[in-house]
Amino acid sequence: MSKLTFGFTQLQVQYSLIDSRVEAHLVPLCRQHDVKLLPYGVLAGGFLSDRWLHQEEPSSQTLENRSLTKYKLMVDEFGGWGAFQHLLALCREIADSHRGDCGISDVAVAYIAQQDCVGGIILGARSKAHIGSTLRAANLKLTSQEIGRISQFLCRTRQGPAGDFYELERERKGRHGQIMRYNLNRVHSDVHLAEVQARIALWEEENTTCDSAARTFLQQLGEELQSFHHGSEYGKLSQQSGETLRALEKKIVQLLPTSI
């Protein structure tokens, strides 16, 4: 039999109006090897939508989930809430020039879809209400002038995020790394438990007080520890990891009563 070889055809990446790190090195590499990008996070967890236009900057306590916290950090890297509002206003202006119910999210999706090496886009429709806007965004085509306006704005305004693709997320002691979950291919294993232990240790190292945001973070860690008891890998934990799990659960309980 002849030897079979398999090559990459698409690469799943985080790519949006506020996070263009892939353009520095990854896009040229994909162009060279005829690999397409399959972006996720194109709407930055929903921040790139009409919902956030003319809104005050949300505090970390009001963000509903880890995903919004993650993408709010990207807004900060982009240039802050003020710069982000100018971006939303520009997208709204472009949306108004198109017929129908075109919105900011449609423009954000169309811009990325028309970038070099993009072969498709991952969009999550959490309910039936999102299906119409998802289909509408897929059919929107921006003119070269509209793409140029957005590109020029980004060149003038964008401050970050800097570095290579996922560079910020790899720094586990940084703001981005602290909210990431690693080793998800080994959920509820010894490796996963060690990761949770490291996050708790890092929190203790860097926090002398426990505000409401920190309380939420600790509660999430507590829930993650509880999930170990119901995971398929629970029975495979080493004796040492079992002791560590119980010790960490007690530590979370001890830390939380001091919260406000």
Cα–Cα distances (Å) from 124 to 102, 131, 174, 199, 216, in that order, read 18, 9, 28, 29, 25
Closest listed residue to residue 160, CA positions, set 11, 16, 12: 16
Q: Is the pLDDT of residue 109 over 90?
A: yes
Over residues 38-52, mean pLDDT: 94
Q: Is the pLDDT of residue 52 over 90?
A: yes
Over residues 36-46, mean pLDDT: 94
Domain positions in the chain: 10-163, 181-258
Over residues 73-82, mean pLDDT: 96
Is the CATH number 3.20.20.100 carried by domain 10-163? yes
The residue ranking higher by pLDDT, 168 or 143, is: 143
- Residue percentage of the chain with pLDDT more than 90: 44
Closest listed residue to residue 19, CA positions, set 79, 95, 88: 79
Q: Is the pLDDT of residue 134 over 50?
A: yes
Q: Is the pLDDT of residue 3 over 70?
A: no
Q: Is the pLDDT of residue 260 over 50?
A: no
215 burial (CB, 10 Å; 0-12 / 13-18 / 19+) is: middle
One DSSP character per residue, the chain reads -PPP-----EEEEE-BTTB-GGGTTHHHHHHHHT-EEEEE-TTGGGTSSGGGTTPPPPPGGG--SHHHHHHHHHHHHHT-HHHHHHHHHHHHHHHHTSSSS--HHHHHHHHHHTSTTB--------SGGGHHHHHHHHH----HHHHHHHHHHHHHH-----SSTTHHHH-TTSHHHHT----GGGTTSHHHHHHHHHHHHHHHHH-SS--HHHHHHHHHHHHHHHHGGGSTTGGG--HHHHHHHHHHHHHHHHHGGG--
Residues with Cβ within 8 Å of 64's Cβ and at least 6 positions away in sequence, in order, are none
**pLDDT (0 to 100) of residue 218:** 78
| Distance in angstroms (rounded) separating the CA atoms of residues 196 and 194 | 5
Over residues 99-111, mean pLDDT: 91
Q: Is the pLDDT of residue 1 over 50?
A: no
